[in-house]
Structure 1
């Protein structure tokens, strides 16, 4: 699944490839991709619209057109590709944005889980799901004190709490595992049981892991490519995710994989012990 670093890399790629383009026609091959308005109206409203800017909030892409914002969530395997109009259309292509210069931006999605929504100009940031997101994982927005206070309100395991996007946005399965390993916290540790030192280590680990992943262009697992058709390189820096039975780089203990909240979860059983606290 594309997480914040991958989505940010897609945004940067699209910024290079399609900013300034004007839409001539939109072809929707799988209408369920479109949440609102209905597919036919969605396509008609975008005709003649110029793409002025690309933004991102959490894992959402925001296409800023002349009169509208288009909100796009890639979900599990959604991706964008640019093509000439004469290029063959892949069977997993579901939406085609044809530009006035004859090129096209195509949305592909093997599982068809991705979604797009069109709203009035500058209203994308007020989209219901986006309003529910926590701060971006950068020091200017993500502050230690509110993070600490938020953790104290929840007794649930730390991993699923971080995955729900409300305390900090952008973390998915890969980067939660990496941040918890870096902070030496067990993925099932109750959030409200973390002490001040552990919260601080986790806070800085989240910023560090996501920052390094953005710099590396994301992590390539299976089918992920950015909008330029390039693979990310952060997979060579993964310390725990996907490293089942490999020695922990801190202590040498084999990395273990378990299920936490129905998600495959990687951790070191020696460095990340589950602590019982009163």
Structure 2
């Protein structure tokens, strides 16, 4: 958390207010969450922030300069509790704020600060030309929303993306399907919340192994992804404790969740109590009646 819908909501808000702004200063408040892999980055080069992009759960800000030969990319990964929030003042920033950017747009000064209670998130500065060599990004599968394999490549067609998803699951026959959805090398952007919701939507039990699911099962599962993500984005993501958008406002999609964090509450479809178990070390929520288990092993 945040997952793709939350990061996409943040991206849209950042672009709305900060695209084509000029970077005036960077202030680091401590030594956490900051990784500089550039050799000669200097604000004296008068960098302009063109726009924010997203791949999976990663955010990117591209800095361009007319006076420097080296364009810079900022990679943001929010991990569990990271926040990127726009403000008009940096007086009394909340605790656990680690750095902020001062930006100027249309003669107006705005600040973008990074806050992370658990300090698992980060920003990484690197030359734009090195972006394709970043080890974390190289492992990503196609984006669950845009179907792009990388930021600079043409998107896969819907059929190509579906086939890539099915083939990715087939490469891990003895992995359970919940783990496959969380595997960012198969499909990028899904996390615990939306994996549980997708499996409920497709009526597939999370403990099923990939080898026990038919191609039809996987097609139904894949075709549930875009409707769910688009609905979550239209509701500005899911907020339980930490997630807020770039304005500091919580999302609304928690009001539409079918199984996630609804343990012991009645299923909206069949009234059977929602169950919770651990799969791949993650809390997993499902309806034991609606979601079919196809495996030969007996579930406990």
Is TM-score (shorter-chain normalized) higher than 0.5? yes
Matched residue, 1:98: 102
Residue 20 of structure 1 pairs with residue 41 of structure 2: no
Residue 148 of structure 1 pairs with residue 166 of structure 2: yes
Partner secondary structure for residue 54 of structure 2: strand
After superposing the two structures, state which structure 1 stretch, 1-10 or 110-119, moved more: 110-119
Q: 1:268 Cα deviation (Å)?
A: 0.5
Which segments of 5 or more consecutive residues in structure 2 lack a partner in the other structure? 65-70, 148-154
Q: Deviations over 1:182-235 (max 9, x none)?
A: 111111110121012211110111222112112221111112110022221111
- Contact 1:85 1:98 (8 Å CA) reproduced: no
Partner secondary structure for residue 243 of structure 2: coil
Distance 1:192 1:25, change over 3 A: same
- Contact 2:239 2:250 (8 Å CA) reproduced: yes
Distance 1:274 1:52, change over 3 A: same
Partner secondary structure for residue 290 of structure 2: coil
TM-score by length of 1: 0.91
Residue 267 of structure 1 pairs with residue 286 of structure 2: yes
Distance 1:145 1:86, change over 3 A: closer
Residue 251 of structure 1 pairs with residue 251 of structure 2: no
Count of aligned pairs: 275
What CA distance in whole angstroms lies between the structure 1 residues aligned with 2:90 and 2:14?
A: 20
What CA distance in whole angstroms lies between the structure 2 residues aligned with 1:165 and 1:86?
A: 35
Matching of residues 205-244 of structure 1 within 5 Å: 205-244=224-263
Q: Deviations over 1:83-125 (max 9, x none)?
A: 2345222221101112355431111111111111112125435
1:50 corresponds to which of 45, 48, 51: 48
Residue 163 of structure 1 pairs with residue 160 of structure 2: no
Distance 1:12 1:46, change over 3 A: farther
Which segments of 5 or more consecutive residues in structure 1 lack a partner in the other structure? none
- Contact 1:152 1:193 (8 Å CA) reproduced: no
1:132 corresponds to which of 135, 139, 146: 139
What CA distance in whole angstroms lies between the structure 2 residues aligned with 1:58 and 1:115?
A: 15
Matched residue, 2:67: none
After superposing the two structures, state which structure 1 stretch, 267-276 or 189-198, moved more: 267-276
What CA distance in whole angstroms lies between the structure 2 residues aligned with 1:158 and 1:260?
A: 10
What CA distance in whole angstroms lies between the structure 1 residues aligned with 2:126 and 2:254?
A: 36
Q: Deviations over 1:136-171 (max 9, x none)?
A: 224663522222222122111111121121111110
What CA distance in whole angstroms lies between the structure 1 residues aligned with 2:95 and 2:32?
A: 16
Partner secondary structure for residue 229 of structure 1: coil
What CA distance in whole angstroms lies between the structure 2 residues aligned with 1:68 and 1:261?
A: 37
Distance 1:131 1:46, change over 3 A: farther
Quote the RMSD (CA, aligned, Å): 2.1
What CA distance in whole angstroms lies between the structure 2 residues aligned with 1:236 and 1:124?
A: 37
Matched residue, 1:187: 206
Distance 1:102 1:208, change over 3 A: closer
Q: Following superposition, which runs of at least 4 residues in structure 1 exceed 6 angstroms of deviation?
A: none
- Contact 1:79 1:108 (8 Å CA) reproduced: yes
Q: 1:254 Cα deviation (Å)?
A: 0.5
What CA distance in whole angstroms lies between the structure 2 residues aligned with 1:46 and 1:55?
A: 22
